[in-house]
Structure 1
Amino acid sequence: MKLIYVFDAYCGWSHGFSATLDEITSRHPELPVEVVSGGLFLGGRRQPLSAFGHIQRANQQISAVTGAEFGKAYQRLAAEGSFVMDSAAAARGVAALRQAAPGRAAELAVALQRAFYVDGLSLSDPATYRRLAETAGLDADAVVAAFEAPQTQAEAEADFHRAAELGVTGFPTLLAVDGGRATTLALGRATPDEVDGRLAHLGALPVF
């Protein structure tokens, strides 16, 4: 059995799920985690923050429900309003980080979201990936080169297709996959204990 985490780096609810993802991966290092970018802000949805009038209210709700932090640098970015969230660029970043450390994909996805939602950094900027790579002890030059490489765009698009093939309609979605069967463990939000309960029901964990 493995876990598949489908998220978007610019999705506030995915940011809110980070603590649960961290805890689940800490509790169950034996379960490999595949991280897939879902593609929330593509095409016509790729607009300035000011076009999404509900974001501030949504972030307040996310923080209240999950305890997620929305940092002052991000809040200044949101208040100014001109920043454009580009999920294709963020998915290239996920792919670049995943190439550098496949076994740490979940950890790096969480760090990527913190870079935006706490530190207010653009996920379209190569400097963001250099900083993340250096902090994680990865080869920063290799990560930046991968982010800028044409083939990484193909990986990002493959992620979007993968999410669709899995039937994912909202972010974040955490799936347990065993053979050809995929079971939803979380959609939008869930506590670590709720996820554990669902894993135990599948027989993936011992029940005491």
Structure 2
Amino acid sequence: MKLVYVFDAYCGWSHGFSATLREVVSRHPGLPVEVVSGGLFTGARRVPIREFGYVQGANAQIAELTGAEFGEGYERLIADGSFVMDSEAAARGVAALRQAAPDRAAELAASLQRAFYVDGLSLSDPATYRVVAEAAGLDADTVVAAFTSPEARAAAEADFRRTAELGVTGFPTLLAVDGASLAPVAYGRATADEVDRRLASRTATRSS
């Protein structure tokens, strides 16, 4: 069995789920985690953030329910409403980081969200990936080069297709996948204890 984490780096609820995912990973070090970018803000949804009037209210709710931090850097970045969240660029960044350290994909996804939601760094800017890579002890030059490569673009498109194939329509979604069988163990938000109970239930069902 493995976990498949379908998220979007520009999704506030995914940012709110980061602490739960980190705890789940720490409790189950032998359980592989595949990280897939969902493509929330692509195509016609790739517009200035001011067009999403619910953002500030949603962020306040996310902070209250999950304890997630929305930092001053982020507030400055979006203050005039002109910032455009481009999930294709973010997915290329996820792919570049995932390529550099496959076993740390969940950790790096959370770090990328922190770079945006706390530090206010654009996920379309190659410099952001240099910052995240250096903080994670990765080869920053390699990560930045990967971010701008055709392979990263192809990987982002593959992630969006994978999301559709999995039937995921909202983020974050955490799936338990065992062969051809898959079941959601978290959607939107959940505690690590709730995820553990659902995983235990899946394990009991398999062994019965």
| Shorter-chain TM-score range | over 0.9
Secondary structure (helix, strand or coil) at the match of 1:17 reads helix
* Structure 1 residue 80: Cα displacement: 1.6
Secondary structure (helix, strand or coil) at the match of 2:129 reads helix
2:173 aligned partner: 173
Secondary structure (helix, strand or coil) at the match of 1:203 reads helix
- Mapped to 1, the partners of 2:95 and 2:204 lie a distance apart of 28
- Mapped to 2, the partners of 1:98 and 1:45 lie a distance apart of 25
2:163 aligned partner: 163
2:69 aligned partner: 69
Aligned amino acid, residue 160 of structure 2: F
Secondary structure (helix, strand or coil) at the match of 1:80 reads coil
Aligned amino acid, residue 156 of structure 1: A
Cα deviation code 1:110-160 (max 9, x no counterpart): 000000000000000000000111110001010000001112101000000
Secondary structure (helix, strand or coil) at the match of 1:159 reads helix
RMSD, matched Cα: 1.0
Secondary structure (helix, strand or coil) at the match of 2:130 reads helix
2:192 aligned partner: 192
- Normalising by structure 1, we get a TM-score of 0.97
1:88 aligned partner: 88
Question: Mean Cα displacement is larger for which, 10-19 or 72-81?
Answer: 72-81
* Structure 1 residue 71: Cα displacement: 0.3
Cα deviation code 1:15-37 (max 9, x no counterpart): 00000000000110010000000
1:141 aligned partner: 141
Secondary structure (helix, strand or coil) at the match of 2:4 reads strand
Cα deviation code 1:24-74 (max 9, x no counterpart): 001100100000000000001001111111000000000000000000110
- Mapped to 2, the partners of 1:59 and 1:133 lie a distance apart of 26
* Structure 1 residue 204: Cα displacement: 6.7
Aligned amino acid, residue 3 of structure 1: L
- Mapped to 2, the partners of 1:156 and 1:179 lie a distance apart of 24
* Structure 1 residue 203: Cα displacement: 1.3
Secondary structure (helix, strand or coil) at the match of 1:183 reads strand
2:124 aligned partner: 124
Secondary structure (helix, strand or coil) at the match of 2:40 reads coil
Identity %: 75
Q: How many residue pairs align between the two structures?
A: 205
Cα deviation code 1:144-197 (max 9, x no counterpart): 000011121010000000000000010000000011100100010000000000
Question: Mean Cα displacement is larger for which, 23-32 or 75-84?
Answer: 75-84
Q: Which runs of 5+ in 1 are unaligned?
A: none
2:79 aligned partner: 79
Q: Which runs of 5+ in 2 are unaligned?
A: none
Runs of at least 4 residues of structure 1 off by over 3 A?
none
- Mapped to 2, the partners of 1:122 and 1:76 lie a distance apart of 12
Secondary structure (helix, strand or coil) at the match of 1:10 reads coil
